[in-house]
């Protein structure tokens, strides 16, 4: 309960910043969704064929989980590293917002493409197993990282040479912890979600 209280207090303190972050993410999500809806038919067919091949691979049961885990971790850690680096430069704030909008775009685009390709029922089931559980953790983690990157980037000019190293270390620890969360999500995605999905499609 105390941890929940701290989270609530943190959100209330930074509610304006989180509102801006949420709005930018949502705009990206909506644009991605609309872009997927109005895609050229040939591109939609190519995407459907690609998703079909992925499903067939699951049916064949020849996936190396260790390789898949490494790829999943690398892909999921990219936002962590990117946001961390952008927070280390004064001009990083606009790029962080662009990256956040693009992340929302990718999720919106992916959801609509999957629903179009697999149909509403199968697509919803696929998303509930493979995408949404992970993103319910990763997206708030990204919001938290974005907030801290923006705060740190804005404060860079006020740091003296004597305390800069200490502040960078403190800032980096936040992203190391966020990275650990992402790695745990990747493990869940690879071994739990994939097992459930393969059990359904095989």
Distance CA 93, CA 155 (A): 12
Per-10-residue mean pLDDT, the chain, length 202? 69 90 97 89 72 64 79 93 93 92 94 86 86 89 95 83 84 95 92 76 56
For 39, left (φ over 0), alpha (ψ -120 to 50), or beta?
beta
Distance CA 129, CA 64 (A): 19
Give helix then strand counts, H and E, for the chain.
9, 0
Residue 60: per-residue pLDDT = 57
Kindly report the pTM of this predicted structure: 0.86
Residue 25: per-residue pLDDT = 97
Torsion of CA 16, 21, 26, 29, to 10 degrees: 180
Distance CA 187, CA 57 (A): 20
Per the listing, tokens 């059990």 go with 199
Residue 57: per-residue pLDDT = 63
Cα separations (Å) of 9 from 12, 21, 60, 171? 5, 17, 49, 20
Distance CA 77, CA 62 (A): 25
Residue 1: per-residue pLDDT = 57
The answer to whether the beta carbons of residues 104 and 24 sit under 8 Å apart is: yes
């Amino acid at each position: 309960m105390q941890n929940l209280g701290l989270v609530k207090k943190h959100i209330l303190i930074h509610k304006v910043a989180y509102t801006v972050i949420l709005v930018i993410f949502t705009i990206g999500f909506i644009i991605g969704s609309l872009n997927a809806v109005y895609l050229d038919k040939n591109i939609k067919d190519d995407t459907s064929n690609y998703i079909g091949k992925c499903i067939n691979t699951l049916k064949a049961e020849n996936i190396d989980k260790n390789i898949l885990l490494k790829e999943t971790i690398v892909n999921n850690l990219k936002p962590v590293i990117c946001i961390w680096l952008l927070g280390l430069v004064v001009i990083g704030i606009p790029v962080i917002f662009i990256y956040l909008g693009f992340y929302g775009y990718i999720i919106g685009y992916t959801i609509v493409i999957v629903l179009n390709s697999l149909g509403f029922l199968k697509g919803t089931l696929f998303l509930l197993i493979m995408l949404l559980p992970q993103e319910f953790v990763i997206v708030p983690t990204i919001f938290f990282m974005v907030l801290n990157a923006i705060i740190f980037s804005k404060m860079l000019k006020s740091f003296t040479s004597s305390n800069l190293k200490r502040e960078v270390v403190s800032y980096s620890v936040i992203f190391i912890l966020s990275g650990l969360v992402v790695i745990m999500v990747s493990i869940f995605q690879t071994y739990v979600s994939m097992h459930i999905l393969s059990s359904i499609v095989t």
